[in-house]
Amino acid sequence: MTIRETLRSATERLELHHVSNSRLTAEVLLAHSLSVSREHLYAHDDRWLTDEEAQTLENFIYDRIGGVPLQYIVGRQEFYGRYFHVNPAVLIPRPETEYIVEAVLEARETAEQSVCPPFILDIGTGSGCIAVTLALEIPDATVFAADISEAALQVARENAGSLGAKVGFVCMDMLDAVNGRFDFIVSNPPYVRRSEITWLQREVREHEPHVALFAADDELEGYRRLVRGAEDMLNPAGFLIMAVGLGMADGVQALFGAAWTKLPTRKDLQGIPRTVIAKKKPLR
Ligand SMILES: C[S@@+](CC[C@H](N)C(=O)[O-])C[C@H]1O[C@@H](n2cnc3c(N)ncnc32)[C@H](O)[C@@H]1O
* CA proximity to 17, closest of 69, 67, 74: 67
Nearest residue by C-alpha to atom 24 in ligand 1: 212
> CA torsion 215→220→226→232, rounded to 10°?
-150
Pocket test for ligand 1, best of 188, 228, 244 (most atoms within 8 A of CB): 188
CA 233, CA 172: separation in Å to the nearest integer? 15
Ligand 1 contact, 131 CB (< 6 A) = no
Q: Is residue 130 lining ligand 1, measured as CB closer than 6 Å?
A: yes
**CB-based contacts of 65: which residues, under 8 Å, 6+ apart?**
13, 14, 17, 19
Cβ of 148 below 6 Å from ligand 1: yes
- If you measure from the C-alpha of residue 36 to the centroid of ligand 1, how many angstroms do you get, rounded to a whole number? 33
Q: 219: CA distance to ligand 1 center in Å?
A: 14
In ligand 1, the atom with minimum distance to the C-alpha of 173 is: 20
Which atom of ligand 1 is closest in space to residue 187's alpha carbon?
6
Distance, CA 18 to ligand 1 centroid (Å)? 31
In ligand 1, the atom with minimum distance to the C-alpha of 126 is 27
**Looking at residue 109, what is its pLDDT?**
84
Q: What is the distance between the alpha carbons of residues 236 and 167, in angstroms, rounded to a whole number? A: 23
- The pLDDT tens digits along the chain (284 residues) read 999 999 999 999 999 999 999 999 999 999 999 999 999 999 999 999 999 999 999 999 999 999 999 999 999 999 999 999 999 999 999 999 999 999 999 999 875 666 689 999 999 999 999 999 999 999 999 999 999 999 999 999 999 999 999 999 999 999 887 788 999 999 999 999 888 889 999 999 999 999 999 998 888 999 999 999 999 999 999 999 999 999 999 999 999 999 999 999 999 999 999 999 999 998 76
**CB-ligand 1 contact for 71 (6 Å cutoff):** no
Q: Is the CB of 124 under 6 A from ligand 1?
A: yes
**For the CA of 176, the nearest atom of ligand 1:** 20
Stated pTM of the model: 0.94
Is residue 128 in contact with ligand 1, taking CB distance under 6 Å? no
Q: What is the position in ligand 1's atom list of the atom closest to the CA of 127?
A: 5
